Amino acid sequence: MSGRKRRIVAAFSAAAATYNDHAEAQIRAAGLLLERLPPLPMAARVLELGCGTGLLTQRLLELLGPDAELLATDLSPAMIAQARSAMADSRLCFAVVDAEAPALPDSAFDLIVSSLAAQWFANLPATLDRLVGLLKPGGRLLLTTLGADTFAEWRAAHAATGRTAGIAAYPKAAELQAMIVGATVESAPFAIAYADARAFLKGLEAIGAATPRPGHRPLPAGALRRIMAGLGAPCSITWDILILGVTKESQ
């Protein structure tokens, strides 16, 4: 595992116990995904990647038939432990799996879902290709991820002082769509209000999502204070949610 991936997993593992209390954006993104679920067979085989504490998992179970099977996975063992302790269902199994290198059989799943995990993948196009390989013919991959306008206000507050924020560059909808043949991508941005910049940053930390982009060097304290003041209080922050869907061709 790369050093960066290790840091990403460590941050999420450390946040497993605080995650649910700060997951407003994740709950809304999961809702957007659930609204787009395709019709499924009664005995659907479903794979979830990056399940975290199981916010989507729980709601997905409510929609699956009695003979369905859901394999919920995450790269963080602590997240898997948290999710496992929160729900028990005979249709549900958990496993620690790297979504970028899943040791799972090809053509095995009717549905693969993932909500707000893909922005952490090192190679999203290759991962999407691999995931489509795991689908049965006619099966569907549905995921939400972050788009280019995510945290635009935080980026702008940095730019106003000649600095660049430590958050990653996320794709525009058209760029995400071009990563895998046959995909459609919808954009569904929303804004969340925070008391101030500190509350916004604390919230990211509490969900384990504060790992900076590769190469980012922490700013001097004074520079960070000016940027935080520039954001204003209260502040409204954009979460630019992209929803990607792709169906594997029937043979």
Q: Does the footprint of ligand SAM cover residue 78 (CB under 6 A)?
A: no
The minimum distance between CB 160 and ligand SAM, in angstroms, equals 28
Binding mask 191-230 for ligand SAM (x = CB under 6 A): ----------------x-x---------------------
Q: Does the footprint of ligand SAM cover residue 151 (CB under 6 A)?
A: no
Q: Does the footprint of ligand SAM cover residue 240 (CB under 6 A)?
A: no
| Selected range binding ligand SAM among 95-103, 151-159, 182-190, 242-250, rule: CB under 6 A | 95-103
The minimum distance between CB 207 and ligand SAM, in angstroms, equals 6
Residue in 44, 79, 131, 180 binding ligand SAM, rule: CB under 6 A? 79
| Selected range binding ligand SAM among 74-82, 85-93, 215-223, 231-239, rule: CB under 6 A | 74-82
Q: Does the footprint of ligand SAM cover residue 52 (CB under 6 A)?
A: yes
| Selected range binding ligand SAM among 36-44, 114-122, 130-138, 193-201, rule: CB under 6 A | 114-122
Phi-psi region at 182: left, alpha or beta (left = phi > 0; alpha = psi -120 to 50): left
| Selected range binding ligand SAM among 39-47, 48-56, 60-68, 169-177, rule: CB under 6 A | 48-56
The three-point CA angle 80-83-85 to 5° equals 110
| Selected range binding ligand SAM among 92-100, 172-180, 213-221, 223-231, rule: CB under 6 A | 92-100
Strands of the 45-48 sheet, one edge to the other: 92-96, 69-74, 45-48, 109-115, 135-146, 241-247, 184-187
Q: Does the footprint of ligand SAM cover residue 175 (CB under 6 A)?
A: no
The residue with its CB nearest to ligand SAM is 52
Distance CA 222, CA 131 (A): 44
Residue in 47, 72, 92, 99 binding ligand SAM, rule: CB under 6 A? 99
- Give burial (CB, 10 Å; 0-12/13-18/19+) of 51: buried
The residues that touch ligand SAM, with contacts defined as CB under 6 A, are 8-9, 12, 23, 26, 30, 49-52, 55-56, 74-76, 79, 98-100, 115-117, 120-121, 207, 209
